[in-house]
Every structure is written in structure tokens, then in C-alpha cells.
Amino acid sequence: TDAIERLKIQYGTSFAYPISSMGAHVSAVPNHQVRRVTSLETRGDVAYFGAFGYELDVTLMTEDEKETVKQQIQYYKKHRSLIQNGIFYRLKSPFEQDGNVTSWMVVSSDQKQAIIGYYQVLSRPNPSYERLELKGLHPDYEYTVMETDQTAYGDELMYAGITLTHEYPGVEAYDEKSGDFVSVIYTLQAQ
């Protein structure tokens, strides 16, 4: 149930099964198998792309953690139909290169909504800006990236990509989104 190990499990399983059939739970830390400590945010961001749930003792959680869980559940309920019924695209494989980055996305059948998950295993010193090329968008639709209020057309997002700047884990931000085992979720909405 370790979120970082699940990146490979979920990525690989998605070749044979729809993500809606995959159990994906947020579990306690340190993880009982690998003893890894991963943030509640990253554990939730990985679990969204499956049959989302929790596998931990909520009575041991702090009030802040309980609030984070409430927000995660609200986000998942709002986007459950898209996640369970959308078209799943693999963007960056944890099995290629050094396996440090995994990314995937799900797009609605009408191509008006999308959710992207981006996961970094280990932080690197002085990383350069990167672009993440998306898939499955309508080339003529203008999309808003809800988390950043940036807009771009589908063809731009698919061929030039989203620029991963300070919203991307590890670049120019030394806060809860930087360091090892971090993630970011982007929600796209066509205008």
C-alpha cells in the first residue's frame, strides 16, 4: 500500500484493467512494508487514480490530517465520474529512464475535462524547468488549468506541454511540495 511502490503497480495494472477496478487506498505511515514516510497529500494523489479509499486508523490522525482527508474525499467525489469513466493516458513511465517521475491523466469522453497526476520520487538539486506533454485533449478547445488559472489550447498542451514551474515539485519552492515523494494534481476544464 506504499504510494511510491503503487506508482509502478497502478501504471502496470492499467495496461490490463481499467483504473476503476483497481483498489487504491491511502494507508498509514511509516508504511508497514517499506517503512517509507510519504505525505498524506501524495498518498491521496496516487490513490485518486483507482478505487479510492483509506486503510488506516483515523483516530490516530491530527486535526489537520482529518481536514486533508475531508478535502481529498470532496475532490474525489466531485471528479469520481471522470476518473472512473474517462479515458486513461500514461504520460511518463516509472519503468523508463531512472524511474524518478511517473505521470498519467484521465480525459472525459467529450474532451472538456481532464485530471493529471504527476509524481516525483526523489528531489534533485537545481532542477531545470520541464514540460509535460499531455494526451487526448481536443486541439481546438481552450483549457484552464484550475490550480494555476493558466489557459492554453489543447494542441499547445499536447505538443508543447504544461510548463512545470514552481507548482511542480522541486522547482523554486522549498515547502511541502518540494523534497522526496511529492506529487501535484492538475485539473483542466475547457472553456
The rounded mean pLDDT for the chain is 91
pLDDT tens per residue, range 99-139: 899 999 999 999 999 999 999 999 877 777 788 999 999 99
How many CB atoms are located within 10 Å of the residue 117 CB? 20
Task: Report pLDDT for 165.
Answer: 58
pLDDT at residue 140 greater than cutoff 70: yes
Torsion, Cα 154 155 157 159, to 10 degrees, reads 160
pLDDT tens per residue, range 79-100: 999 999 999 999 999 999 788 9
Task: Report pLDDT for 40.
Answer: 96
pLDDT at residue 169 greater than cutoff 70: no
pLDDT at residue 167 greater than cutoff 60: no
Task: Report pLDDT for 178.
Answer: 67
Task: Report pLDDT for 36.
Answer: 94
Task: Report pLDDT for 126.
Answer: 72
List Cβ neighbours of 48 (8 Å cut-off, separation of 6 or more).
24, 72, 75, 76, 79, 83, 115, 117, 185
pTM (2 decimals)? 0.91
Give the residue-averaged pLDDT of 2-27: 95
Task: Report pLDDT for 108.
Answer: 98
DSSP at 36: -
Question: Into which CATH architecture does domain 3-190 fall?
Answer: Sandwich (2.60)
CA 148 to chain centre: 15
How far apart (Å, rounded) are the C-alpha atoms in residues 8 and 13? Answer: 8
